[in-house]
Amino acid sequence: MAAINEIACLHGLAVIEDAAHAIEAWYGGRKAGRLGDAAVFSFYATKNLATGEGGMLVTDSDAIEEKVRVRSLHGLSRDAWKRYSAEGFKPYEVLYPGFKYNMMDLQASLGIHQLRRIESSLCVREAQWRTYASEFRGLDTLRIPPEDREVRHARHLFTIELNLAALRISRDRFVEALRAENVGAGVHFTPLHTHRFYRELFGDRRWHLPNAERIGERTVSLPLSPALTVDDVLSVATAVKRVCAYYRR
């Protein structure tokens, strides 16, 4: 983040952190969400705090806050949501062509009760993480995420990186093989510039972002959730090792 902030500073850019997965995360002694000019968190159904859809933007900048508040509610002037309050009718105006990106009170009421179990759920996922890390230690067919003393990881996704040189199958076939073992694995993520829309818009720029492409072809996300039992996690690990052994070159 220091390097990104430095580049942004040189070019007069604002840095918006994608903290969608990172509600529990810290980096270099600072909470995720405090590392740039603004940060966005996701409360989509699969996230560690879920309101179905929706999320949160945080910023220390009054200017960004004002802009986002107004644009997120039809571009109406500030406090327009109070227009029918007990204090009587308040005139309001459209200042920009805005969006309807407001979170409903109903959603917030789901989310607010999850706040108190954020840390205990993280503890469960940390234990699952340690299980995977110890089960996969020493395998040369995959790599597990490295640990970094500067980072307190949110443990939202446990992503392995396949060593395709040691396997006879592609990542997509590996995911299918796991599914056949009754393990729902995912891919986070396919690099943006390799999606059809961006290929058609900007031309085929594969090989321009070699790290994103290398990881995009090798990454697999394994189940990680407080809803899983210890046995569930062990059986996922067994299935991964079985698929690795079967398709080893």
Ligand X SMILES: Cc1ncc(COP(=O)(O)O)c(C=O)c1O
Rounded distance between C-alpha atoms, residue 18 and residue 36, angstroms: 10
- Indicate which single residue of 1, 8, 15, 20 sits in contact with ligand X (rule: CB under 6 A): 20
Q: Which residues contact 10 (CB under 8 A, 6 or more apart)?
A: none
With binding defined as CB under 6 A, does residue 153 bind ligand X?
Answer: no
- The CB-of-185 to ligand X minimum distance in angstroms stands at 16
Give the tokens for residue 102.
């407001």
Question: Which ranges of the chain would DSSP assign to H, the alpha helix?
Answer: 2-11, 62-72, 105-112, 118-136, 171-180, 196-202, 210-218, 230-246
With binding defined as CB under 6 A, does residue 55 bind ligand X?
Answer: yes
The region of 18-26, 67-75, 141-149, 202-210 touching ligand X under the rule CB under 6 A is: 18-26
* DSSP letter, residue 147: P
- Closest to ligand X by CB, 50 vs 169, is 50
**β-strands 151-152, 142-143: how paired?**
unpaired
The region of 17-25, 72-80, 129-137, 175-183 touching ligand X under the rule CB under 6 A is: 17-25
Residues between 87 and 106 with contacts to ligand X, criterion CB under 6 A: none
With binding defined as CB under 6 A, does residue 59 bind ligand X?
Answer: no
- Indicate which single residue of 42, 59, 141, 159 sits in contact with ligand X (rule: CB under 6 A): 42
- Closest to ligand X by CB, 35 vs 177, is 35
The region of 15-23, 81-89, 176-184, 235-243 touching ligand X under the rule CB under 6 A is: 15-23
- Closest to ligand X by CB, 42 vs 128, is 42
- Closest to ligand X by CB, 92 vs 98, is 98
Tell me the three-class secondary structure of 23-52, residue by residue. Answer: CCCEECCEECCCCCCEEEEECECCCCCCCE
- Closest to ligand X by CB, 46 vs 134, is 46
With binding defined as CB under 6 A, does residue 44 bind ligand X?
Answer: yes
Provide long-range contacts, Cβ within 8 A and 24+ apart, for 145-149: none
- The CB-of-3 to ligand X minimum distance in angstroms stands at 19
Give Cα 204 distance to the centre of its chain.
26
- Indicate which single residue of 18, 140, 172, 204 sits in contact with ligand X (rule: CB under 6 A): 18
Which residues are tagged catalytic? 47
Cis peptide leading into residue 189 (ω within 30°): yes
Rounded distance between C-alpha atoms, residue 152 and residue 92, angstroms: 44
- The residues of the shown chain that bind ligand X, judged by CB under 6 A, are 18, 20-21, 42, 44, 55
